Amino acid sequence: LASMLEEPVEEVTGRSLLEIVAPEHAPMVDRVLYRTFKGGSEAAEFKALTATGERRWVRAFLQRSAGRQVRVSGVLLDIHDRKKNEASVMATEERMRLMLDAVGGQVAILDAEGRYAYATPQWAAAFGYVSEADLIGRSGFNFLDGEGEAAARQILLQAVTTKDRTPIEGCMTVLTDHGRALYAKFTVVPMLDHPLIEGLVCKMEILEDRTEESAA
């Protein structure tokens, strides 16, 4: 702990845990300590203040110790670098999503099983949804007829076994939950080895609305 805080051991000994917690996290840590004193164990992540005033992320494992005096003992781990890496990845992912949304068009990302991991608002709207969240986690095969599913599974097999990112194209009819039948061209770019996307980037171009034809 002393090394983490860049302070001599004698300066750290006897201090309250709350004295080293960054002000914005002090109320949360105070609640964690209260629950620990009441019994059981707790884990928490918060920023600690070093001797130089730097805020470093730490993870605390706290447990009530029974004895002549009720105490809370625990272990603090320095997780600052991990948190910075996580924040960097999240920021990059967010920039990627904003870029896809800004570019526009009907674009989606599916995983290696054909489930939706992402969709632009334009793609969701084509399927009759207000929010792309309605598609996340659902199988893309659920929106295809038998012939279309067979074609899609062939594309999926080709995409997950290819060793490059060559686009794969195919046309099939999409059956939405709202009764529309859309004949569309799909262009699939395998990005399974990409550190952020890790999926199949699909672009959809609607060629024909067969809803009325199907109804007839």
Beta partners for 47? 57
Q: What is the pTM of this model?
A: 0.54
**pLDDT tens figures, 64-111:** 776 555 556 667 778 777 877 777 666 666 666 655 655 557 889 899
**pLDDT tens figures, 4-22:** 555 554 555 556 677 778 8
- Residue 3 has a pLDDT of 57
Beta partners for 58? 46, 78
**Rounded CA gap, 113 and 106, in Å?**
20
Instruction: Express as a percent the part of the chain with pLDDT over 90.
Output: 20
Phi-psi region of 38 (alpha: psi -120 to 50; beta: other; left: phi over 0): alpha
Q: Tell me what the mean pLDDT of segment 149-155 comes to.
A: 92
- Residue 153 has a pLDDT of 93
Looking at residue 22, the DSSP 8-state letter turns out to be -
Dihedral angle, C-alpha 114, 119, 122, 126, nearest 10 °: 30
Positive or negative torsion for Cα 56, 59, 65, 70: positive
Q: At 194, is the pLDDT very low, low, confident or very high (cuts 50, 70, 90)?
A: confident
Helix, strand or coil, per DSSP, at residue 205: strand
**Rounded CA gap, 64 and 43, in Å?**
12
